[in-house]
Amino acid sequence: MTTTLPEARRPPEAAERGRPHRSPRTTGRRNWAGGLAGWLWLVVVAVPLYWTLITSLKAQSRYYAENPLVPPADPTLDNYRLVIESDFVRYFANSVVVTVGAVVPAVVFSFMAAYAIVRGPRMRVLRAMNGLFLMGLAIPLQATVIPVYLIIIKLQLYDSLLALILPSVAFAIPLSVLVLANFVRDVPKELFDSMRVDGAGEWTTMWRLAAPLTRPAILTVTIFNALTIWNGFLLPLVLTQSPQRRTLPLALWTFQGQYGVNVPAVLAAVVLTTLPVLILYAFGRRQLLSGLTAGFSR
């Protein structure tokens, strides 16, 4: 774990020329304060997660009577059945459609823009675009939600999944362009030159040379955006209305409104909606974590 992040994030040549070599800071003596904080934080993080999981497996009728921190003697999946019967399959599908539908264009467009910005540093148009994207980093999504809502109504997209996709793409672009441009910049200039000598145009060079060489960064950006959009709550809250259009976080919230007293069922819904992300985490932890700190590598 301690050695994964920088490698996953930058091409090797960048790591070599830039900063001093990392090295684990072992001094032979113990870090008592850190160790204590470390174990305490483990408890702080793990107890709510553990409680959520075991409670979701308890029968509603009996869960008060039991010690809340002891796993159920006879675990039941009834709560999960209730959640699935409450149309969560549809909400799951909605979340998948919105996430895939937004992440793919966001990453493709951002990559193309990043490529153009790096390859045409002397073009004034591109410099202006770059400045605009950088400025976009400082715009908080919440502050623009009212005009976004107005635009979506005017486009007659209100209460559709496309309404969620379009602003999600827009807000993914600034950080994606920034991160991807940093990586395209690390592709050695000689490689671009030799592509040109071979007669390749920018379009070919972009997909045949730059894209394969920046694949780790593209993956990182994809993961980060997917996580952000998958977990998004405000846009679905404001831009959709009918139950058929709910995405998972919004569905979770309305489910709690309906079944608030049925704590095990609510927690089963929480577990179920986070399960896909946790499965991904189990398999792709390195990429996920490097995706989260993308852009802040120095």
Contacts (CB under 8 A) with another protein, residues 59-98: 63-64, 66-69
> Could you say whether residue 228 binds another protein (CB under 8 A)?
yes
Which residue, 195, 199, 174, 182, is CA-closest to 110?
174
Q: Which of 52, 59, 160, 286 binds another protein (CB under 8 A)?
A: 52
Binding region for another protein (CB under 8 A) out of 75-83, 85-93, 137-145, 211-219: 137-145
Here the tokens at position 242 are 């009918």
Say if CB 224 and CB 292 are below 8 A apart: yes
Say if CB 173 and CB 110 are below 8 A apart: yes
Looking up tokens 């992300």, which residue turns up? 277
> Could you say whether residue 293 binds another protein (CB under 8 A)?
yes
Binding region for another protein (CB under 8 A) out of 71-79, 83-91, 136-144, 211-219: 136-144
Residue 60's SS3 state is coil
The site string for another protein over 91-130 (x = CB under 8 A, - otherwise) reads --------------x--xxx-xx-xxx-xx--x-xx--x-
> Could you say whether residue 284 binds another protein (CB under 8 A)?
no
Q: Please report how close the Cβ of residue 154 comes to another protein at its closest, in angstroms.
A: 11
Which residue, 96, 72, 64, is CA-closest to 261?
64
Name the DSSP letter for residue 232: -
Q: Which of 61, 73, 74, 140 binds another protein (CB under 8 A)?
A: 140
Q: Which of 76, 90, 185, 297 binds another protein (CB under 8 A)?
A: 297
Distance CA 123, CA 149 (A): 35
> Could you say whether residue 22 binds another protein (CB under 8 A)?
yes
Question: Residue 26: is it exposed, middle or buried by C-beta count within 10 angstroms (0-12/13-18/19+)?
Answer: exposed
> Could you say whether residue 175 binds another protein (CB under 8 A)?
yes
Residue 186's SS3 state is coil
Query: Could you tell me how many residues of this chain bind another protein (CB under 8 A)?
Result: 126
